[in-house]
Amino acid sequence: MEPIFVLDNVTVRFGNLAALEQVNLTIQRGERVALIGPSGAGKSTLLSLLNGTQRPTQGEVRVLGRPLARLSPRERQAIQRRIGTVYQQFHLVENLRVIHNVNAGRLGSWPLWKSLISLAWPLGVDQAAAALAQVGIPEKLFARTSDLSGGQQQRVALARVLVQNPDAILADEPISNLDPERGREIMDLLVHISETTGKTLVVSLHAIEFTQSHFHRIVGLRQGRVQFDCPAGAVDGTLLAGLYQL
């Protein structure tokens, strides 16, 4: 089967700085991949290439077999809708009720009138409730988002992605703002969803203690380059020390 993501000799420059340099990476459907590496190594930039929010300076990005740079805006959006992303900062509208934040995941597929009506009279209640049940907080459907804890807000962000029914979930440091226990719960949940639905999971992480237990494969980035790319079980202290050395 076609890989879900291919980066073919990709470089991303911001002015003189190469955030990523000549990166080759292929991710198969259903794989769970952890991206690790020191601050500034290029992890977020890599994720933003995979969801199409960043374009490469050189090289080609293919998602679901389609070269993003050669698609029309409409085709590109259709591909982007098949990739869901959660972020460290959740990116929720805090003064809205949870259901509206969850439904925001469907705005790309709803016509404008439906989105506007839904703000006053929530539509898609069953799907939003099902997504919230999947992330373990069904009772929060009509709660005000600002009343939720950080861990619960990350669950809402994940539910927003789930109503989109993407083929892949990307998570950019999803647990950096959470306490260790809440962080573990979110990591377990991401893996559970990937295992039960077959969705591909690509997560950037500073908490390397999860890499062996939660992922098939670990990609170590350093200064914009892939320093190693191997099965989780093959990563040892020597590889990690080389990755994080000052």
Ligand X SMILES: Nc1ncnc2c1ncn2[C@@H]1O[C@H](COP(=O)(O)OP(=O)(O)OP(=O)(O)O)[C@@H](O)[C@H]1O
Assess contact for 192 and 8: CB atoms under 8 A.
Answer: no
Residues within window 87-116 making contact with ligand X, judged by CB under 6 A: none
| 162: nearest Cα among 139, 194, 188 | 194
By CB under 6 A, tell whether 141 contacts ligand X: no
* Closest CB to ligand X among residues 136, 229: 229
Tell me the pairing of strands 58-63 and 66-67: antiparallel
By CB under 6 A, tell whether 17 contacts ligand X: yes
| 28: nearest Cα among 242, 214, 199, 232 | 199
Report in angstroms how near the CB of residue 204 gets to ligand X at its nearest: 6
Q: In angstroms, what CA-CA distances link 198 with 41, 142, 165, 166?
A: 29, 29, 11, 11
Q: Which stretch binds ligand X (CB under 6 A): 11-19, 115-123, 153-161, 195-203?
A: 11-19
By CB under 6 A, tell whether 19 contacts ligand X: yes
By CB under 6 A, tell whether 241 contacts ligand X: no
In terms of Cβ atoms closer than 10 Å to its own Cβ (0-12, 13-18, 19+), residue 149 is exposed
Relative orientation angle of helices 125-134 and 150-162, to the nearest 10 degrees: 130
Residue indicated by tokens 């998602």: 63
Residues within window 27-66 making contact with ligand X, judged by CB under 6 A: 37, 39-45
Q: Which stretch binds ligand X (CB under 6 A): 3-11, 12-20, 189-197, 225-233?
A: 12-20
Report in angstroms how near the CB of residue 203 gets to ligand X at its nearest: 12
Residue indicated by tokens 């999971």: 201
* Closest CB to ligand X among residues 102, 171: 171
Report in angstroms how near the CB of residue 40 gets to ligand X at its nearest: 4
* Closest CB to ligand X among residues 32, 43: 43
- Alpha carbon distance 230, 170 (integer Å): 19
By CB under 6 A, tell whether 124 contacts ligand X: no
Report in angstroms how near the CB of residue 128 gets to ligand X at its nearest: 30
Binding residues for ligand X, per CB under 6 A? 14, 17, 19, 37, 39-45
